[in-house]
Structure 1
Amino acid sequence: MRISKDPKVRRQEIMDAARELFLKNGYENTSVDDIVRRLSVAKGLFYYYFPKKDAILAAIADEFVEEVSRQFSTQLRDQTEDFSTLIRRILGYYLTTMKHNENLLNIKASNGTVVSLFVRGRLEDHAIREVTELLRENPSLLPLRYPEYTIHILVRGLSDLYLNGVQDLDVLSTLIEEILGLSRLSPEPETADSHQPHPS
């Protein structure tokens, strides 16, 4: 008697094979036939789980977002650090994850949409929601009058900087600390021939 695989297992197998082929050969150069041939299954099985090739790419992107979001949430709930240290650690995790998955994020769907655009929006929404909730539950961490708006501006702004090539952890962390008032800029040391006026 033939024993069928668990649908979740089979679906994941198809996704893993597709992801491997997309990364190796490119999205446009990978056909549904290539995917089912890799798994030695009937073409109809692919369409049972995914109505078209774009659908499996969306599922792969969803899976990536869910994994990153889950790790983000877990790390954010670590209350053993001050907020500044916590944000630096989470930002480091995020930057490392994006770097390690550049090939995936640069895949283009047939409609021209780059995976990174879809992923970016989802991750930003999740980060804004999670950080805002944390600050509302723990107002002593960071007293903000409008936490959701502040975090919204911060997350979207950092994302724009990242896409424009600003990916240095120290730079991004410093920006967060200065914008949120988590650190104070050290004044430049005065010199004997300094003629700058001193505040009274």
Structure 2
Amino acid sequence: MTRTVKDPETRRGELIDAAEELFLANGYEETTVADIVRKIGVAQGTFYHYFKSKDEVLDAITDRWIEEIKEGVAGIASGDDSDSIEKIIRVFGFFSSLGKSRQGLVEYVHEGRNAHLHNKFERKVPSILTPLFSRMIEEGVRERFFDVRYPEMAALFIIVTTGAISHIYETYRLNENTEKMNEITAATFYFIERILGAEQGIFIKYASRMEAST
């Protein structure tokens, strides 16, 4: 049988894909390196050529998530088919769908024993998202939706605080506590409106209208 030789980046990507799929399906702790290589039909030596350990492949998955977040938000921010309020709401929807699709693994990454991965998120994500959010806020100022003196600082404050709130929201979502979920959503939009100097209630109005049109 002829041995298939693949480009190193392609093979590395296959290992990351297989690991992420297995981590999500079976859990990180329950997945072994043997499971990962078996899934794509390569030897364990191939895995260790690219990664020193299972922890290192999880680190690579985290890097890819961060890049996916950057690309997703950049795509929304640069679009010309919606105004600034719609864009910000769509960004939060993007975050929500991304978190739901990787629920168990996201929780594992943010556990105390994985502080280096959690800290990577906390360090990299705000630095990536702040310029993109700042652009949307500046756009909102030009559209006369917002009245903000310091767009970049407003963007950073929104990113950091909503990131912290999202962990609480997910707890209520898993417990199917719709009342608390709605309360957090309303409170989050209320405080964002205050930070941005926007008309009170405008984010909820937009969100309701956007939901009705889908």
Place the TM-score, normalised by the shorter chain, in its bin.
0.7 to 0.9
Residues 137-163 of structure 1, C-alpha deviation per residue, up to 9 Å, x if partnerless? Answer: 886254532222221112111111222
Change (3 A) 1:111 1:135: closer
- Indicate which of 131, 134, 141 corresponds to 2:133: 131
Q: Which runs of 5+ in 1 are unaligned?
A: 187-200
Change (3 A) 1:110 1:126: closer
Question: 1:14-29 counterparts in 2 under 5 A?
Answer: 14-29=15-30
- Indicate which of 197, 202, 209 corresponds to 1:181: 197
Q: C-alpha separation between the residues in 2 aligned to 1:185 and 1:89?
A: 17
Q: C-alpha separation between the residues in 2 aligned to 1:110 and 1:177?
A: 31
Change (3 A) 1:37 1:2: closer
Taking structure 1 as the reference length, the TM-score comes to 0.77
Q: C-alpha separation between the residues in 2 aligned to 1:154 and 1:137?
A: 16
Residues 56-89 of structure 1, C-alpha deviation per residue, up to 9 Å, x if partnerless? Answer: 0011111122112201101011234332222122
SS of the residue 2:82 aligns to: coil
SS of the residue 1:29 aligns to: coil
8 Å CA contact 2:24–2:104 kept in 1: the answer is yes
- Indicate which of 161, 164, 172 corresponds to 1:160: 164
Q: Does 1:113 align with 2:129?
A: no
Q: Which runs of 5+ in 2 are unaligned?
A: 170-179, 203-214
Q: C-alpha separation between the residues in 2 aligned to 1:139 and 1:11?
A: 44
Q: C-alpha separation between the residues in 1 aligned to 2:114 and 2:41?
A: 30
Give how far 1:19 is off.
1.4
Aligned position for 2:153:
149
SS of the residue 2:142 aligns to: coil
Structure with more of its chain in helix, by fraction: 2
Change (3 A) 1:82 1:49: same
8 Å CA contact 1:88–1:173 kept in 2: the answer is no
Question: 1:72-83 counterparts in 2 under 5 A?
Answer: 72-83=73-84
Query: How many residues of Structure 1 are paired with residues of Structure 2 in the alignment?
Result: 186
Q: C-alpha separation between the residues in 2 aligned to 1:167 and 1:154?
A: 18
Give how far 1:45 is off.
0.7
8 Å CA contact 1:84–1:177 kept in 2: the answer is no
Give how far 1:3 is off.
4.0
Q: C-alpha separation between the residues in 2 aligned to 1:3 and 1:24?
A: 28
Give how far 1:98 is off.
1.5
Instruction: Provide the identity percentage.
Output: 30
Equivalent AA in structure 1 for residue 149 of structure 2? R
RMSD: 3.0
Change (3 A) 1:49 1:170: same
Aligned position for 2:100:
99
Give how far 1:49 is off.
1.0
Q: C-alpha separation between the residues in 1 aligned to 2:92 and 2:199?
A: 17
Taking structure 2 as the reference length, the TM-score comes to 0.72
